[in-house]
Amino acid sequence: MIRSVFLGSGSALPKRVVPNAELAETVDTTDEWIVERTGIRQRHIAGEGETTSTLASDAALAALADAGIDGASIDLIVLATATPDRTFPASAVRVQRAIGAKGGMAFDLQAVCSGFLYALVTADSMLRAGQAKRALVIGAETFSRILDWEDRGTCVLFGDGAGAIVLEAQDVAEDGPGVLASSLHADGSQEDLLYVDGGPSTTQTVGHLRMKGREVFRHAVVNLSDVLGEVLGLADVAIDDVDWLVPHQANARILDATARKLGLPAERVVVTVDRHANTSAASVPLAFDVARKDGRIGAGDLVMFEAMGGGFTWGASLLRL
Ligand code: UT7
């Protein structure tokens, strides 16, 4: 059977690290509050010359090096982002140029924090349909540029970064590697709980992120455990067979609650929210790359990805390495 098989991963972070204490100098917050309520200790914030496409390109080049392949062989780039360099063209075409590819497909995809899951499913579907042979699936964001730095309820929660994976269409055995099953959902009736109050077609401004955090939290735990159960069912896999859960890194309490609901021990959950904060579409591939490079996730492992974000949108996917 044709499956999308994982070849390599990479990630990139802005140089500047901002610890909680630095934020407490400008907004009414404390390191204790942020750590206790979210698990976040620091975040990386993009500086001059660092944009979504530069971070995405660095992550993509690292993923290509990890896979040991040439950028020119990539014929599909799906870049999940809610913070593109420009309204158009897609930041994906800048990545295409940076990696030395030409003529294949390159586009951005917008599903906010679930963007990487949406991009993964899109690339997987196109690879299995024979539309492309080798894909780069990227999540990259510079949320620092859409935050209201006077709103303590949101500005302490997010960071910037990028993560990328390379997938290739391969003919494999039923028990072989690849993306095994995925599921995506959206519920547009919840738009006003998490959104940006600007845009080209409404205000002609970029706008700022607005969130009713407590409401989002409540929906996140329910939606995520439901979709994880759904994907396990689709793949006919038991939770005990899953080696690693790589969740969207929004809040350590959401990660704990979701793992508890699934009956997954905390040692099998990858947590990077303490170092990176919430990097939206970048958070899952960034956490995945960290856990691969530090040797936790290895060949043959069964890895579960999940994310939930504005829209609402949410989804999960199961990948055997
Ligand atoms: O990636 C997309 C998905 N996003 C998420 O998953 C985010 C989900 N939500 C959350 O992670 C949490 O709801 C938050 C971290 C955003 C907030 O935690 P919470 O425990 O739900 O706190 P809360 O919003 O109920 O606020 C509790 C108190 C409030 O004060 P009062 O009204 O009780 O006096 C807030 O004003 O904490 C206050 N507060 C803060 N205090 C110090 C809110 N932000 C801060 C802050 N520092 N930064």
pLDDT at 291: 98
| Residue 213 beta carbon below 6 angstroms from any ligand 1 atom | yes
Q: What is the pLDDT of residues 245-276, one digit of tens each?
A: 999 999 999 999 989 989 999 999 999 999 99
Which pLDDT score, from 0 to 100, does residue 55 have? 98
Pocket test for ligand 1, best of 29, 141, 217 (most atoms within 8 A of CB): 217
Average pLDDT, the chain: 97
Report which residue type is found at 80: A
Query: How many percent of the chain have pLDDT more than 90?
Result: 98
Q: Is the distance from CB of 92 to CB of 99 less than 8 angstroms?
A: no
Closest CA to 25 of 112, 121, 155: 155
How far apart CA 275 and CA 174 sit, in angstroms, is 37
Q: C-alpha angle with apex 67: 307 to 227, nearest 5 degrees?
A: 15
Check residue 3 and give its pLDDT.
98
Closest ligand 1 atom number to CA of residue 253: 11
> Could you say which residues of the chain have pLDDT below 50?
none
Q: Which of 31, 34, 37, 216 to mutate to test the pocket of ligand 1 (most atoms within 8 A of CB)?
A: 37
Ligand 1 geometric centre to CA of 182 (Å):
31
Q: Which residue owns the Cα nearest ligand 1 atom 14? A: 213
Does residue 124 share a domain with residue 12?
Answer: yes
Task: Quote the pLDDT of residue 113.
Answer: 98
Q: What is the pLDDT of residues 229-246, one digit of tens each?
A: 999 999 999 999 999 999
Burial (Cβ within 10 Å: 0-12, 13-18, ≥19) of residue 84:
buried
- Are residue 210 and residue 254 in the same domain, yes or no? yes
184: amino acid identity, one letter: L
Amino acid at 128: R
CATH value at residue 114: 3.40.47.10
Question: Model pTM?
Answer: 0.97
| Angle, alpha carbons 8-14-18 (nearest 5°) | 130
Tokens of 52: 């979504």
Structurally, the chain folds into a number of domains equal to 2
- For the chain, where are the alpha helices, taking DSSP H only? 20-23, 31-38, 52-67, 91-99, 115-128, 152-155, 213-235, 252-262, 273-276, 283-293
User: Do 38 and 103 fall within a single domain?
Assistant: yes
Regarding whether 159 and 189 lie in a shared domain, the answer is no
Same domain, 288 and 231: yes
The domain boundary residue, chosen from 119, 139, 171: 171
Q: Give yes or no for residue 216 CB within 6 A of ligand 1.
A: yes
Which residue range forms the structural domain that includes residue 140? Answer: 2-171
In this structure, the answer to whether residues 17 and 161 fall within a common structural domain is: yes
190 and 126 within one domain: no
The response to whether residue 104 sits with its C-beta less than 6 Å from ligand 1 reads no
